[in-house]
Structure formats: structure tokens, C-alpha cells
Amino acid sequence: MDTIAIKTVIIGGGPSGANAAKYLASAKEDVLLIEKNLSFDKPCGGGLFLKAFDEFDIPKTIISKVVKTIDIVSPKLKKVSIDISNYPLAIVHRQNFDKTLRELAVEAGAKFLNAKVIRISTKPEGVKILARKLDGTEITINAKYAIAADGVNSQTRWQLLKEYPNRVLTYYANIQEKTSSSCQFWFGDDISPKHYSWIFPHHNGINIGLVANNKYKMKYFYNNFLKKSKIVASIPKAKGYFIPHWKRTTLYKDNVFYVGDSASLVLPFTYEGIYYALKSGQLAAEAIIKDDPLLYEKSWNSLYLKKFKFLRTLQNIFLQNDWWVNKMVQLYQHPKFQTAVIAYWSGSRKPAGTLKTLYKIIRSLIKYN
């Protein structure tokens, strides 16, 4: 059995893991990136703000589409279109996107291993990993630090913390023969209570689906949504997949950093995850470069905790039932409200605290209704 000694090992070659590897390698850090499935195409709308490509130095040639409009649809089928041309969304094919990020990491100097992690354990001086290559041979990896970037079904988190990331079930389907120029968010207790259903542009056609807490009624909600939206004449077969549902949780423990989906770092209300996966990978890498592991959680909380709490407050208020959703859509008819929410979402405006948020919502309801 081969044995490798390295400073940092990263488990998972998606956006968070690959971006962490790139930043570490660019700083001349000794890093090994492990990914088990190079052909995996994560079920995902594939959208992130266009500005992220400049921020993380990602080539824009892999962008499939650019979206400049969001439509929100109320339970009463009232639609409001929102111009996001100042903060456009880029749509990517996740398989190609992840592959490109891994290539950038290797070009920067990261080592790469196509293998499956079988077991991970921690010890005072670091972590020990047993991985199995495609040919069946096993390899032991001893490292000072590990980054768990193995997604919503994180086996690293399960083995070390005895828990999976906080998550919620989705039903989705890709439809190649349809197109959409906007990202559509549909709301209603009959199609996705406390969450939303969607019609998003995809790299090849559209992606449709919904988020819901009740796994036993997913097919019922899915059928209702497709009948209500009339997007297709017949109902395509759906697939189920978990996505993270954010809550405050462990980001670092015993020389292991948890990033991206493995730490449920997905923005509440919108379930936007790619940008925060990239950013969490970068912040973990910066903490390792400075050899200050506690810096990771400090940096994350300083940048995003208030924003995540703010969006969770909005989700809890406006998506609690159809009455509140209809009020929300009424508010979105007013340009000032649109501008404020898009600014919060894009990060160009800092969110208010919970009490101040409630005050602003009540004031807006009085003003606009």
C-alpha cells in the first residue's frame, strides 16, 4: 500500500474543493485534491452572479447563457418581472464548470488523485485518510489539514461528526426542447410550501423543479406545479436530490475544514450555492496559508453570517403561507423594493438586523398596500 504525506488534502473536486486547491497551490502550498467521479454532473440550476468570474479568475468562455430577468409568480398567478441587468446571472454546465475549476487547480500546481475516500480519522497532529483508486489499489494519506468538500452527502462529515449537512429534498427534471430567458420562481402551498418551485434556463434547454419538506408529497407538488405552470404538455419523469438548507453548524474541528455543501453554506430563500462554495473554499485556503485554522470561521461569519440570517428571516416571514407570499409579490411590484432586495441578494448592500428587518417589512406593507 502506498503512503503519501502532504500538508493539505481536499476531499471533493467540486467548486469549493477545486477553488481551495487553486488558492493553496498558487501560494506554493503542498496540496492534494481528491475526486472520485470525474463525469458527475450535479443536479443544479448552474447559476451564479457574472461578477464571480472576475472575482475568482474563472474563464468566461464556459458560460452557457446570461440571464438579466427574474420572474416571481404568486399563488394567484400574479407575475412580476425584475430587471437584474446590473447584476446578471451566468448559467453554466456544472460538469464542465467543475472540470474547468479542477484544471485551474492543477495548472496552479495542485496534485490530483482520482480516487474514492474510504475512511478518514483525526489525530492530534492531523488527519489520516484511506483512499481507493479506480484500479482497486489503496493509498494512505497523512496530512496536517483536510478540507471536506464532498457535498450534501458528505461522508467526511458523517464519519467525523456523525451527521450529514442540513438538507432538504428537491424534485427536478431537465427539458431540452424548451427555453426560458428568465429565472422563474413560483410560490404556493400547493406546489412548494415554505420554499419555491422553479423554471430556470439550463445549459441545454431548461431545468424545472421544486423544494419541499414533505418527501411523501413530492410527486403531488411536482404534478401540481407542472399543471399550474403549463410549461410542458406532458409531465416528465422527475428525479430526487438533496440540496443544503442552511443552519449554523460546525465549519472547523480537529484539523478538518467543512466548506460548500458539506457545511450547508447555501443562501437561505434563494438556495444559491455555487458562489458560496467558491468563497468558502477560498477562505479555508487563506486560513491554511496563514496557519490559523480558526480564521476560516471568523472570516466567514464576518462576511456572510448577517446576510444569511437576514435572508432566513425573510424566508420565514414571506414563505410561511400563501397570504404572505401574495403580500411579497405585491411588494415586488414597487421598484424601490425590488432594488433593495436585489442589492441585498447580490451583496452590494449590507443587510439589516432582524428587528430592523421586521420594522422595514411592516413599514413597506403599510406603504405599498
pLDDT tens figures, 248-266: 999 999 999 999 999 999 9
pLDDT given at position 49: 93
Q: What's the pTM?
A: 0.94
| Tens of pLDDT, residues 52-94 | 999 999 999 999 999 999 999 999 999 999 999 999 999 999 9
Q: What is the mean pLDDT of residues 219-235?
A: 91
Parse the chain into domains and list their residue ranges. 2-41+94-165+247-292, 48-92+167-244, 318-368
CA-CA distance, 356 to 363, in Å (whole number)? 10
The CATH number of the structural domain formed by 48-92+167-244 is: 3.30.9.10
User: What band does 353 get if pLDDT is binned at 50, 70 and 90?
Assistant: low
Tens of pLDDT, residue by residue over 258-317, are 999 999 999 999 999 999 999 999 999 999 999 999 999 999 999 999 999 989 988 999
The residues near 50 (Cβ < 8 Å, ≥ 6 apart) are 63, 66, 87, 88, 89, 90
Per-residue confidence (pLDDT) for residue 41, from 0 to 100: 77
| pLDDT tier at 340, thresholds 50, 70, 90 | confident
The pLDDT score that the predictor gives to residue 351 is: 72
Q: DSSP of 240-258, one letter per residue?
A: EEEEE-------EETTEEE
Lowest model confidence (mean pLDDT) among 23-32, 196-205, 258-267, 358-367: 358-367
| pLDDT for the residue 361 | 66
Q: What per-residue confidence (pLDDT) applies to 282? A: 98
Q: Look up residue 205 and give its three cell numbers.
A: 434547454
The grid cell for 193 is: 410550501
Q: Render the burial of 109-140: b for 16+ CB within 10 Å, e for the rest.
A: bbbbbebbbeebeeeeebbbbbbeeeeeeebe
Question: 355: pLDDT confidence band, cut at 50, 70 and 90?
Answer: low
Q: How confident is the model at residue 339 (pLDDT cuts 50, 70, 90)?
A: confident
For the chain, what's the residue count?
369
pLDDT of residue 343: 83
- The pLDDT of residue 215: 86
Strand partners, 242: 169
In this prediction, residue 32 carries a pLDDT of: 98
| C-alpha cell belonging to residue 320 | 410561511
User: What are the residues whose beta carbons fall under 8 Å from the beta carbon of 66, sequence distance 6 or more?
Assistant: 50, 88, 89, 90, 91
Taking only the tens place, the pLDDT of each residue in 115-128 is 999 999 998 889 99
pLDDT at position 357: 67
CATH of domain 2-41+94-165+247-292: 3.50.50.60
Which amino acid would we find at residue 85? S
Q: Do domains 2-41+94-165+247-292 and 48-92+167-244 have the same CATH topology?
A: no
